Amino acid sequence: MLAISRMKTVLNPKFSPLFPHLPKTKAAYFAHLSRTSEPTICNNPIRNANHIHRKSTSLLSSSFFCSTQKRNLQMEASRPPSGEIHVIVGPMFAGKTSTLLRRIQLESGSGRSVAIIKSSKDTRYGLDSVVTHDGMKSPCWALKNLSSFKQKLGIEAYEQVDVIGIDEAQFFEDLYDFCREAADHDGKIVIVAGLDGNYLRKSFGSILDIIPLADSVTKLTARCEICGKRAFFTLRKTEETQVELIGGADVYMPVCRHHYVSGQVAVEAARHVLESSNLECGSYA
Ligand SMILES: [Zn+2]
pLDDT tens per residue across span 230-247: 999 999 988 777 777 887
Residue 12: pLDDT above 70?
A: no
Separation of CA 212 and ligand 1 centre (Å): 31
Separation of CA 191 and ligand 1 centre (Å): 30
> Domain 84-220 is classified in which CATH homologous superfamily?
P-loop containing nucleotide triphosphate hydrolases (3.40.50.300)
Residue 78: pLDDT above 90?
A: no
Separation of CA 223 and ligand 1 centre (Å): 8
Q: Report yes or no: 80 and 187 within 8 Å, Cβ to Cβ.
A: yes
Range with the poorest average pLDDT among 22-26, 153-157, 266-270? 22-26
Cα dihedral 106, 111, 112, 118, rounded to 10, equals: 50
Q: pLDDT: is 63 or 174 the higher one?
A: 174
CATH of domain 222-285: 3.30.60.20
pLDDT score of 238 = 82
pLDDT score of 254 = 95
Separation of CA 228 and ligand 1 centre (Å): 6
Separation of CA 233 and ligand 1 centre (Å): 10
Q: Report yes or no: 177 and 205 within 8 Å, Cβ to Cβ.
A: no
Known catalytic residue: 168?
A: yes
Provide the percentage of residues in the chain whose pLDDT is more than 90. Answer: 50
Residue 165: pLDDT above 90?
A: yes
Range with the poorest average pLDDT among 126-130, 187-191, 207-211? 126-130
pLDDT score of 199 = 92
Alpha helices in the chain (DSSP H): 26-36, 52-78, 96-109, 149-153, 155-160, 175-180, 257-284
pTM listed for this prediction: 0.69
Separation of CA 241 and ligand 1 centre (Å): 23
10 Å CB burial of residue 173 (0-12, 13-18, 19+) is: middle
Residues whose beta carbons lie less than 5 angstroms from ion ligand 1: 224, 226-227, 229, 256, 259
Separation of CA 31 and ligand 1 centre (Å): 53
Active-site entry in 84, 168, 181, 280: 168
pLDDT score of 6 = 46
Query: d(Cα 88, Cα 193) in Å, to the nearest integer?
Result: 5
Query: d(Cα 160, Cα 148) in Å, to the nearest integer?
Result: 17
Name the amino acid, one letter, at 170. Q
pLDDT score of 42 = 31
pLDDT score of 90 = 97
